[in-house]
Amino acid sequence: MSMLPAALEAFQGEWRERARAESRLLPQGKLSGPMPWVIAIMIGLTVVATASGLALRNTASIASVDVAGGVTVQIVHGAPRERDRQAQAALASVQSAPGVQSARLVPQAELDALVEPWLGTNAGDDINALPVPALIDVRLSDAADKAQLEALRARLKSPAPAARIDAQATWLAPVFEAIGGLQWLAGGLIALLAFATVATVLLASRNALGNHRSTIEIVHMLGGTDTQIARIFQRSMAVDAAAGGIGGLLLGLVAISLLGHQFAALGSGMMTSVGLGFSDWLVICCIPLAGVLLAVVTARLTVLSALRGML
């Protein structure tokens, strides 16, 4: 049993020694110049774009669950007494309707709070003089579909002819569409950033290859393989990408934190419900790793492709 750790240690020692020896073949630290900074910016932007996309997805998901089974019944009548009568009748009818989980008449205080920003509630404001509709907030056990809405309309036609019935999801649909669009935008940004990272690494690798062409030719003449030379570039790029990735992640986290505080300060019900779960943070933390992998694979393929042109 004690043989295995010893063999592993010997292998690690040999691997480290070989890596050190290979790294001496080309001057390290001068291969890619400003690469760590460029990768840090790319990763930072990717982190922000990913976090935004995930937060929007969570927002849409939470909001859609909230409104999926939500139906609003408005009793639109100019006479307050008739409006209240129809509201009570509609409430009773809706509560006994099949598929309805709960229904409540929105209290006047809540209605006043809703219209306050536009109509005000200061002394002297005669809010009762305005034909504000009575609202019944209905929760269905399933998502509100067209058939259920039609059944509710038919049910309320007689006890509350002034009732207007709307699925909450219907009037929030444009918001969801906008959120979906923003998610696509975030995805597009991530794809563009990945493309830009690949292009940057490709240019840096070609530049480094050009700068070290004479050394590479000598190493080739001495029997160095393409893989050996590619490994040197890969290693250098991995170090640069790891440094840039960590820097970019920190940069992105700071930006997310600032944006989070800004949105929280808005106080909007939808925005305050936005958050990133454990799996979201895991995805975000994997971005630098993906960046390193992308940079290393790009460097390897670029170098091998360029070396194939040499004898």
Based on the shown chain and the rule CB under 8 A, indicate whether residue 225 belongs to the binding site for other proteins: yes
CB of 27 or CB of 188, closer to other proteins: 27
- Residue 298: count of CB within 10 angstroms of its CB: 21
- Candidate segments 12-20, 85-93, 186-194, 246-254, binder of other proteins by CB under 8 A: 12-20
Can you read off the two tokens belonging to residue 128?
A: 């009762």
CB of 224 or CB of 288, closer to other proteins: 224
CB 103 within 8 A of CB 136: yes
- Candidate segments 17-25, 91-99, 124-132, 277-285, binder of other proteins by CB under 8 A: 17-25
Cα–Cα distance list, 33 to 207, 247, 269 (Å): 10, 16, 47
Based on the shown chain and the rule CB under 8 A, indicate whether residue 22 belongs to the binding site for other proteins: yes
CB of 102 or CB of 225, closer to other proteins: 225
Q: Which residues contact 169 (CB under 8 A, 6 or more apart)?
A: 64, 67, 68, 70, 143, 144, 176
Based on the shown chain and the rule CB under 8 A, indicate whether residue 211 belongs to the binding site for other proteins: no
Q: How far is the CB of 6 from other proteins (least distance, A)?
A: 17
Q: How far is the CB of 23 from other proteins (least distance, A)?
A: 10
Based on the shown chain and the rule CB under 8 A, indicate whether residue 308 belongs to the binding site for other proteins: yes
Q: How far is the CB of 227 from other proteins (least distance, A)?
A: 9
CB 190 within 8 A of CB 49: yes
Q: Which of 7, 8, 19, 21 binds other proteins (CB under 8 A)?
A: 21
Based on the shown chain and the rule CB under 8 A, indicate whether residue 19 belongs to the binding site for other proteins: no
Can you read off the two tokens belonging to residue 210?
A: 């050009």
- Candidate segments 19-27, 55-63, 246-254, 284-292, binder of other proteins by CB under 8 A: 19-27
Q: Which of 53, 224, 244, 248 binds other proteins (CB under 8 A)?
A: 224
Greatest distance between any 2 Cα atoms in the chain: 100
In the Cβ-directed half-sphere of 269, how many Cα atoms lie within 13 Å? 4
CB of 31 or CB of 60, closer to other proteins: 31
Q: Which of 38, 160, 219, 295 binds other proteins (CB under 8 A)?
A: 219
What is the Cα–Cα distance from 105 to 91, expressed in whole angstroms?
Answer: 7
Q: Which of 2, 122, 128, 214 binds other proteins (CB under 8 A)?
A: 214
Based on the shown chain and the rule CB under 8 A, indicate whether residue 84 belongs to the binding site for other proteins: no
What is the Cα–Cα distance from 289 to 300, expressed in whole angstroms?
Answer: 16
What is the Cα–Cα distance from 279 to 259, expressed in whole angstroms?
Answer: 20
CB of 36 or CB of 224, closer to other proteins: 224
Can you read off the two tokens belonging to residue 282?
A: 């895991």
What is the Cα–Cα distance from 132 to 123, expressed in whole angstroms?
Answer: 18
**Residue 175, SS3 per DSSP:** helix
- Candidate segments 68-76, 103-111, 114-122, 225-233, binder of other proteins by CB under 8 A: 225-233
The DSSP result for 93-156, as a single string, is: HHHTSTTEEEEEEPPHHHHHHHHHHHH---TT--GGGS-PPEEEEEEESS---HHHHHHHHHHH
Give, as ranges, the residues between 87 and 106 that touch other proteins (CB under 8 A). none
CB of 32 or CB of 148, closer to other proteins: 32
Q: Which residues bind other proteins (CB under 8 A)?
A: 14, 17-18, 20-22, 24-27, 214-215, 217-226, 228, 308, 311
